Structure formats: structure tokens, C-alpha cells
A = this chain, B = another copy of it.
Amino acid sequence: MASIAVLGYGTVGTGITELITKNRERFKKITGEELKISSILVRDIEKHREKVYSNLLTNNIEDIFRKSVDIVVEVMGGIDPAYEYIKRALKLKKHVVTANKDLIAEHGKELLDLADKNGVTLNFEASVGGGIPILKPLMECLIGNEIKNIKAILNGTTNFILTKMDKEDLSYEDALKEAQQLGFAEANPESDVLGYDAARKLSILSTIAYNEKLNWRDIVTEGITQIDKEDFKYARAHGYNIKLLAISSREEDKIYAAVKPVMVKNNSQLGKVENELNAIVLEGDAVGKVLFTGKGAGMLPTASSVFGDITDIIQNKNKKVLRFNEKEASVQKYWNNSSSWFVRIKTKARIEVMCSIAGDFENCHIFSKYATNPGEVVALVKCKSEDFLSSKINKLLELPYVHEIKRFSIIEN
């Protein structure tokens, strides 16, 4: 008998209790163990009176630990009080499963060390990619590989908004409104649209992939709030789509990591990932590129991953130790590779700007046909490094007749 306490009875918590109920018999057949929900922590008991397990509700964390419990499932979200509750559970030698990416990105190392010290397991498959199996395949199936790079769509909200902007020619504001109405975006969407959510997930994925602790605050993070209809028009005209990509790569002892809107080929694997779906491409030195796609959020997809984590603990009790490396990654701001960029330069002095950029970049293709705005130079440039591009842009911005510059990196596959 494995006794499970659930912290939080919102969307994911409800999904988890549903899956536990539904799978009870099948699970017993496969593992020989019976699953039992011991109690469910909520803030306001009255609010959940109508739910299936209302008899197991408590609003007192002490009740959770007073009962016999083997696994604590944390699906409250946010840092406080989840952080304290999980520490407490681990110190009491309870296994913990969490879907909380904020918490793992912030305190993952400390919590994993604490789990290790207490001989219990802390699993967090659902924290990256929602229902997509990604952390276990990366850690276990692909362990023979050095991971060279990661390219991923890790935030469903922004992918939904960008898909709407692309397919229905909506403005960012209108697409966001629709996402909010459909429940794909929160009332305060900052963490999603500014790229922080994706950066936290990328830090978890990269910390495991490269075995170096990557602080999500070190990741260059740019959101989607500045993208307009014109950007999509230019992108489409050249067979591109705009996606908020979470990218990292290892080159010798340096790690490059960024979250930013990128132009990707329309018919590429990532270019075709639509709506609220997530996708992750890992490139390993032995396996080559492997792509995983699926629902990155939602009640049952997230619960699916949490349930997998619970099973993992029951089948491997105390066997596996995952720890984040002490070593802090040296995270690079710029990618030191030759790369292509799409740039939009707001200026009244078009000729001067064109001459300037045509002379400075390895390759420079000025878009005349699609540049409908006379106060703008639109170009596709190739340069030897992102650093070079940035200094060039800074120089241009010093010119009195250059008002604003926008850029997207371009990824061909």
C-alpha cells in the first residue's frame, strides 16, 4: 500500500486524484502495490466541498504529516508555501513529486540534495513539457549521450498567441485577449509572455542535460510583447514562422542559453508546432536529434506525468539519486557562431542606413518588395557572431536618424 498526500486541489490536483482513482486496479496488477490518497491540503475547505474526495480535505499542513504517508505530491504552484512544505516532507523522509517549475528552477539543487541526504526521491517530470515524457528519457534513455544542444517550445501560452497571430493575422493584444478568454493565458500573463516561464524550464532541462547548474536569471530572456503583425508579414513572405524558442547549447566549457522569438522555417519540425503544444528537440552526440511533442500543460496531461513520477518512486524506492551539479554553468549572453538575422530599422534616412549595413555584414539582403513602411529598412543579414551584430546595432542606434531597431534570429531547421 502506497499512501499519497496531495498538496493542492486545483486543476492539476483534481487531475491527479482522477488518475489515481481510475488506475487503481490496473496499477495494482502491474506493480503489485495499491495506491491510496491519505489527505488533500487546500486553503479553503468550503470551496472544495463538492469534490470527490471532500472527506480527505484539510487546511492544516500538520494533518498531512500526522497520517501515515509515503509520497507527497505538491501541485499548489508558486514558491511559498510549497518550498517550506516540500523541505519539511523531505526531512521527514517522504518521497516528493512536484510539477512546480518555479520551485525547481529556484531551489532544485537544495531540494535534491535534501532528498539525497534523507534517502528519498524528488521527481519533477511535469515541471518541463507538461505531459511530454522528457526528463526521464533524457536522464535514463539518453544517458550514453553528451547533449550538444536543446531547441524547444516550452511555453504553451505564448505558442498559442503566436499561432493566432500567424494564422488569423491578429495583433498581439487581440491574440492575448483570446488566449485569456479560453483559459490559455492568465489575467496577469507576464511570466509567460515575457519568457520567464520558458527560461525557468530551460534552466531545469539544461542543468540536467549539461550537468552544470544553470541559473535561470542568467538566461538572456526576451518575450513576445514587441512582436507585431508586420513581423509576421515579413516572416510569412519568406517561408518563416515566429516561435518563442528556448535554446541552449554547450560548446567546450561554455553554455549558451536564451529564450527569444526566433524565425523558423514554416515547414520545419518546430515551425509546425501549433497552439498550446510544446516540443523539445535534443541533439545528442550518439543519437543525433530526437524530437518530443505533446501537450505542455492542462489537467490530465500534467497529471499523466505526475502519475508516472509516483510509479517511478514505487518501483524504484531509494534506488536512484539525482543531484544537480555544484558547478555553476558559465552562461553566455551571445552565441559565438555565424548566424542569420532579420532586422527592422526605423529611420527616415533609408539610403544612409542601407549603405551602412550593406557594408558591414557578411551578407545583407534588403527587402524592398515587402517593406511597405517608408520609414523603415528591413533586411536579412548574416554575420560572424551575435556579439558583432549587437555592437553594430548599438552603433546604428547612436546615429541621430536611427530611431529603433528590432531583430529576430533565424534558424533554418
Contact = CB atoms under 8 A, between A and B. Distances in A.
Given A136-B137, A267-B267, A291-B294, A143 B30 contact: yes
A304 B286 CA distance: 6
B286 A19 contact: yes
A292 interface: yes
A131 to B, nearest CB: 4
B125 A133 contact: no
Interface in A262-298: 267, 269, 272, 284-295, 298
A368 interface: no
A300 B146 CA distance: 12
Interface residues of A, number: 46
A312 interface: yes
A332 interface: no
Count of chain copies: 2
B294 A144 contact: no
A247 to B, nearest CB: 18
Contact of A142 (B15, B133, B144, B320): B133
Contact of A289 (B140, B291, B294, B311): B294
A291 B293 contact: yes
A108 interface: no
A149 interface: no
A308 B140 contact: yes
A290 B293 CA distance: 6
A125 B290 CA distance: 15
Interface string A2-46: 000000000000010001000100010010000000000000000
